[in-house]
Structure 1
Amino acid sequence: MLKHTRLKLMLVHPFNRSPERRPTSKEQMSRTTFSDPAKLVELETLLTEAAFPNLVRQPMPLASRTAKQQAQKDERLQALMDSCRTEVIQQIIGPFGLTPAMFDDIDGGNVTTQHNADQDIYAKKSEEYARTDYDYATAKSKKLKSAVESGEMNSQEFTDAYTGQKAPTKRTTANGKMVMNAELDHSIPLKQAHKEGGWMLDKEHRKALASEKDNLNYTTFENNRAKSDIAAEEALSEQNGYDKARTQPIIDKAREAVDNHLPNTGDRIVYHGRELGATGAREFGKAGLRRAFGVLLHEFVNGSFQETQLAFNQRHSEETLLNRFLAAIERVLKRVQGKFKQALDEFFKGGLQGFISNLLTFLINNLVTTSAKVVTIIREGMHKLWDALKMLLWPPQDLPASEMMRAVTKSIAGLFTLGAGMLWEQSINAFLLSIPVLAPVAGLIAPVLTGLLTGLGTALLMYGIDSIIDWMLDKGTAMLDAQIDTLQAQSELIASLAAQMDVQCQLNAGYRQLIGNHQQVASHFHTAERHVVAAQLHAESAVTDQRDTVATLNRAIDARLRLNQRLNTLLKR
């Protein structure tokens, strides 16, 4: 009870007591409680029992615990250093080295989808819209001959198919030259038809589509320019001043004629299947070759680094430096040769993942258009996603769930760091281009610098994941150690709090003295105020007397003047 009383007394603010009351003996004792080490230990015990009632503090061999933690820390740091070197080499050689050299990714991926075509994005040059591919010169001549024979057009006027009104067949240009005012228009614009599926057709079928007579109608030069490549349903709508009852049958007839030339569902499946097969095979070969070559190149670089370091460290060897380097080169070549089987396995794994990534990119682009950088991320991140799925679906036998969780988490985390690195590369390249000295070599430095940062970031992230998982899986004394460390920190905090309270008590005494001084000053101010009021009253009385005196003097002066005037009058007589 006395301990709690002391704590309560310590928390009482000095200004909550009246200034006149002096501190009691208990308050004086509470101020000096933390100056006594024994009392400090006693208070620490009290707080510990209150915060952790179920904690039984057992003496631990601190030296053994510290040695174990230090050994684990050293092991993790060494693993971190090895991981940094490995990840940096892999990133520079792989996604930021071999990938740009072997792949030329474009927006939308390697296979054009209908979604991308609607956005005017095509994977191949032959699929892009070119007006020259839609030649309809023969159909144009036939349409003109038919219009003349039917009387819809003569040398003076013609009938506008969209308005039904007569219009001059010719018009005068700004230069005074006579040209045709009657122009043959594709009711369904060729560019619209191209986006709707014409991009799948060859030149012969595109020519047949453009020559469809039911999609060709005469209109004026002005109307044709206003309509341009706008969809017929919008360009010939009532909002643009057309009579829907007249234009809708024309649009429906043209739509039916154009749809007969566009590929149907079966044609689209065959086209996409053929494109996926061709691009998938190409991606299989390039991705497999990239993975296989990456394994050999990584082994060569890593081995060269280790062997060079070893050759320099053997300074006291009897062999010459040249001989040591020749022997190191031979060992590196043997190490690379020993990786041929692994490179072959990686070729098929990488090829399969390249094929799947190509298919996945195609499926995604049916819904949303991916940028070239996202296409690269999908392909390069496929093997990490594959590793995670394989670990979840077919985990090795006798593998603990904790290790499976660790491997899956690392694979997914590596996918995110790779994606972030790919996105950083463009920003880093732009930054380097802004520096005149580095601008000429920005394209070479940016991938290396990005690979370096991505590798270090990946290694640090893996280190953090390992540390977090180890902490989560530690069922021994980790929690107890954490609680003990917390209590030690609380002890230091309490000691600091005690010192601050002692200072606060001294400040409180100073504050009370200041209050007394302020009260004395206030008393003096009140006395001075009374004197000022009295002086003001005396001053006002003096002013009144002065006014009376001035009035008396003025009357005396007036009387003297009157007396002088009378004397002057008498003297004049």
Structure 2
Amino acid sequence: MEPTLTELKEQRLQKLFSDCQQQVIAQIIGPFGLSTAMFEDRNGGNVTTVHNFENASADYVAEKDQKTYAASRERYDRSKLKDIKQSVKDKLKAPGIDGYTGKQVDPVHLEADHVTALKKIYGDRKNHLAYNTGEGLDRLSDVANNTENLVATHRDVNNPKRAKDILEFADEVIDGKTQADRLELDPERMRAAKERSEDFLERTANRAIRVKQTGELLKTGANQAAQMGMRQALGMLLNELVNGLFNEIKALIKHGVEQGKTLFEEIRQRLVSVAERVLKKIPDAVSQMFQGGISGFMSNLLTFVLNEFLSTAKRFVTVIREGLIGLFRAFKMILFPPAHLTPDQALQEGLKLLGTVVVSSVGILLQETVKTFISSMAFLLPVADILSSALIGTLSGLLSAFLAYQIDCMFDRYRHGYDERFMDELIADSRRREEFAQGLVELSESSLRNVSAFNHSIILYQGIGQTLADSGRMADATLVSLEQTVSETREQVAKSVAMIEYIESSQRDIEDFLELL
């Protein structure tokens, strides 16, 4: 027999008190305990993105890229870059063709020009990240001095061009004539050289950054996965241990020492019981370790992706890491409910997990503010971190338990209210259906009776028609007989009249004869 709504409310209230204890312990041990000890989140995440390197402060750059970040902000100094190798210069000059004009030129007068100037290449901060200039400018120099970025041209072109863009240089007007006209520059050659240079530089830098970031993501992701997996496993076991100790102490205070035992024996027995429960949780802890590992790796990747577009502070990095595993568990519960839960119950449990994620995330974002407030009191400064973690963890746990309680109550009201309305509606609908069915039966019976009567009428009409047809035939025969009789009667009458006339004539003759006698 299912409990009533009142009984459910009482059960939910008792569960709230139990959940408050468990949630507070879980929050203090997890996001506001073990995470603080095991993770050192930083602004921008563990892998430096191009967005953060170009647009954010050094705080958003990973530790290993700090030297490169500093080098990218230094003033351009041509002397720090390697010069073009003589072998490359000789190779460019050998054909004796000017790369910008297409004319044959004495190789003595040809010089190697950087299509994209060294200053522009150095000024692109993305190149510093790609070629790790914090360790030196050799890689950047090698790319800049590649033949894809070099053109052999006459010194009369190279000297005035200097660090200018070749197309902009060609459009310069001097004494009423453009440099292109003065130096007879070929527009197609210039455009082709510029496109080749820019494509090479962009492609090479992107490939170098992909290689760098892929390696770093795999390394930091594996580290985050291991740490998060360990944190989840330890968190579950510690949570079971602390809750077990709390419950055993509460039971010991309430019931006292069992008769015949000493206090030491009672405590030892209860500790053994707690240890056994913790050991039974090891398989679940292993499962949590696996889920935490996936969450740690994915949170590291997600943080990197987000920082490709915006710079996230370390608190948001923590929220991503802590929230992702909660979201994973919540959506797993909703989309793939356990066999013992209905879809409705799985949705209820999933919403409670999502509520915990939201409350914990808000708590993490507020922790820095609370820590700052506590630090403002000099005597609390040494324990500001501990106090802020404990305070926010406690509040987050209580709010999570209360939110779960409200979700349970909402579903209880929904189910009971819905069931009552649904049953009333079913009963009313059943009655309506019964009345409608009865009406259909009566209508069907009446229709069948009408059909039967109609069928009988048709049979009668058929009989009447047959009778009428027979009567008609008989009438026709009678009419023919009457006509024949009338005709015969007329003939007989005519014969009778003739006979009477003959008799009268004979009688007159006899009378006349008699008179003569």
TM-score, normalised to structure 1's length? 0.54
The question of 1:126 aligning with 2:58 is answered no
State the distance in 2 between where 1:390 and 1:422 align: 24
Aligned counterpart, 1:188: 120
After superposition, the Cα gap between the structure-2 partners of 1:139 and 1:444, relative to the gap in structure 1 and judged at 3 Å, is closer
Partner residue of 1:104?
A: 40
Give the conservation status (yes or no) of the 8 Å contact 1:99–1:290.
yes
Instruction: Say which SS state the counterpart of residue 475 (structure 1) adopts.
Output: helix
1:336 partner SS: helix
Look up the match of 2:137.
Answer: 206
User: 1:74 is matched with which residue?
Assistant: 10
Partner of 1:512: none
Is 1:355 aligned to 2:297, yes or no? yes
Looking at structure 1, the residues matched to 302 and 77 of structure 2 have their Cα atoms a distance apart, in angstroms, of 36
Instruction: Indicate whether 1:389 and 2:328 are aligned.
Output: no
Q: Deviations over 1:230-257 (max 9, x none)?
A: x999xx99xxxxxxx99xx9xx979948
One-letter code aligned to 2:231: R
CA change 1:125–1:466 in 2 (3 A) is same
Q: Is the 8 A contact 2:44 2:311 kept in 1?
A: yes
Q: Deviations over 1:106-152 (max 9, x none)?
A: 11111222222222432233354233999864658999xxxxxxxxx
Q: Secondary structure at the match of 2:65?
A: helix
Q: Return the match for 2:53 from 84, 108, 117.
A: 117
- Does residue 368 (structure 1) correspond to residue 307 (structure 2)? The answer is no
Structure 2 residue 87 is the aligned partner of structure 1 residue 87? no
Task: State the distance in 2 between where 1:404 and 1:269 align.
Answer: 41
After superposition, residues 390-429 of structure 1 pair within 5 angstroms as 390-397=332-339, 399-429=341-371
How far apart, in 2, do the equivalents of 1:299 and 1:409 lie?
23
1:291 Cα deviation after fit? 0.6
Letter in structure 1 aligned against 2:131 = L
Cα distance change on mapping 1:68 and 1:390 into 2, 3 Å: closer
The change in CA–CA distance for 1:436 and 1:268 in structure 2 (over 3 A counts) is closer
In 1, Cα distance between equivalents of 2:236 and 2:257: 34
Q: For 2:339 and 2:84, how far apart are their aligned partners in 1? A: 76
Whichever residue aligns with residue 84 of structure 1, its letter is: C
Q: Does 1:307 align with 2:248?
A: yes
Instruction: Give unmatched runs, 5+ long, in structure 2.
Output: 86-116, 150-162, 170-177, 180-189, 423-517
Preserved contact between residue 292 and residue 347 of structure 1 (Cα < 8 Å): yes
The CA deviation at 1:208 is 4.3
d(CA) in 1 for partners of 2:80, 2:403: 67
CA spacing shift, 1:405–1:344, aligned 2, 3 Å: closer
Q: In the superposition, relative to structure 1, how do residues 115 and 476 fare at CA in structure 2: closer, same or farther (>3 Å)?
A: closer
Report the RMSD for the aligned CA atoms in angstroms. Answer: 4.0
User: Which residue matches 1:439?
Assistant: 381
Deviation at 1:280, TM superposition (A): 1.1
> What amino acid does structure 2 have at the position aligned with 1:311?
L
Code of the residue aligned with 1:109 in structure 2: it is G
Q: What is the alpha-carbon distance in structure 2 between the residues aligned to residue 474 and residue 70 of structure 1?
A: 11
Q: TM-score, normalised by structure 2?
A: 0.59
> Structure 1 residues 140 and 207, CA, compared in 2 at 3 Å: closer, same or farther?
closer
Residue in structure 1 matched with residue 229 of structure 2 by the alignment:
288
Distance 1:438 1:393, change over 3 A: same
- Report if aligned partners of 2:257, 2:266 keep a CA contact under 8 Å in 1: no
- CA 1:206–1:138 in structure 2 vs 1: closer, same or farther (change >3 Å)? closer
Aligned to 1:473: 415
Quote the Cα distance in structure 2 between the aligned partners of 1:358 and 1:140.
Answer: 37
State the AA in 1 paired with 2:50: Q
- Give the drift of 1:401: 3.1
State the SS of the aligned residue for 1:370.
Answer: coil
Determine if contact 1:109/1:372 at 8 Å carries over to the other structure.
yes
Residue 354 (structure 1) shift: 0.9
Cα separation, partners in 2 of 1:317 and 1:115, compared to 1, 3 Å: same
From 194, 200, 212, the equivalent of 1:271 is 212
1:11-50 map, 5 Å: none
Q: After TM superposition, list the pairs within 5 Å mapping 1:53-68 onto structure 2.
A: 68=4
CA distance in 2, matches of 1:371, 1:392: 31
1:351 deviates by: 0.5
Equivalences for residues 555-570 of structure 1 within 5 A = none
Q: Given residue 197 of structure 1, which amino acid in structure 2 is its aligned partner?
A: N
Confirm or deny: 8 A CA contact 1:414 1:458 kept in the other structure: yes
Describe the shift of the 1:187–1:460 C-alpha distance in structure 2 as closer, same or farther (beyond 3 A).
same
Cα drift, residue 200 of structure 1? 2.8
CA distance in 2, matches of 1:141, 1:411: 61
Query: C-alpha separation between the residues in 1 aligned to 2:64 and 2:275?
Result: 44
Q: Which runs of 5+ in 1 are unaligned?
A: 1-66, 144-184, 216-230, 238-244, 481-573
Q: CA deviation at 1:398?
A: 6.8
SS in 1 for 2:417: coil
Q: 1:142 to 1:196 in 2, by over 3 A?
A: closer
* Counterpart contact for 2:374–2:388, Cα < 8 Å: yes
Cα offset, 1:365, TM superposition: 1.5
- The letter of the residue matching 2:219 is A
- Given that 1:114 and 1:197 are in contact with CA atoms closer than 8 Å, whether structure 2 keeps it comes out as no
How many percent identity over aligned positions? Answer: 33
Residues 196, 232 of structure 1: CA spacing in aligned structure 2 closer, same or farther, 3 A cutoff? farther
Decide whether aligned partners of structure 1 residues 105 and 436 sit closer, same or farther in structure 2, where only a CA change above 3 A counts: same
Distance 1:141 1:391 in 2: 62
Query: Does the residue aligned with 2:221 lie in a helix, a strand or coil?
Result: helix
- Offset of residue 266 of structure 1: 3.3
Q: Larger helix proportion, structure 1 or 2?
A: 2
Residues of 1 paired with 2:213 and 2:196: CA distance? 24
**Cα contact 1:296–1:343 (8 A) shared by 2:** yes
Cα deviation for residue 479 of structure 1 reads: 7.7
The structure with the larger Rg is 2
Give 4+ residue runs of structure 1 displaced > 4 Å after superposition. Answer: 67-70, 132-143, 210-215, 252-259, 476-480
Distance 1:286 1:348 in 2: 11
Shift of 1:302: 0.8
1:296 partner letter: L
Q: Distance in 1 between matches of 2:203 and 2:342?
A: 57
1:297 alignment partner AA: L
Cα deviation, residue 329, structure 1: 1.9
Q: Are residues 437 and 75 of structure 1, via their aligned partners in 2, closer, same or farther at CA, if it must alter by over 3 Å?
A: same
Task: Give the whole-Å Cα distance in 2 for the aligned partners of 1:336 and 1:187.
Answer: 64
Structure 1: distance between partners of 2:345 and 2:226? 33
Q: Is the 8 Å Cα contact of residues 43 and 317 (structure 2) preserved in structure 1?
A: yes
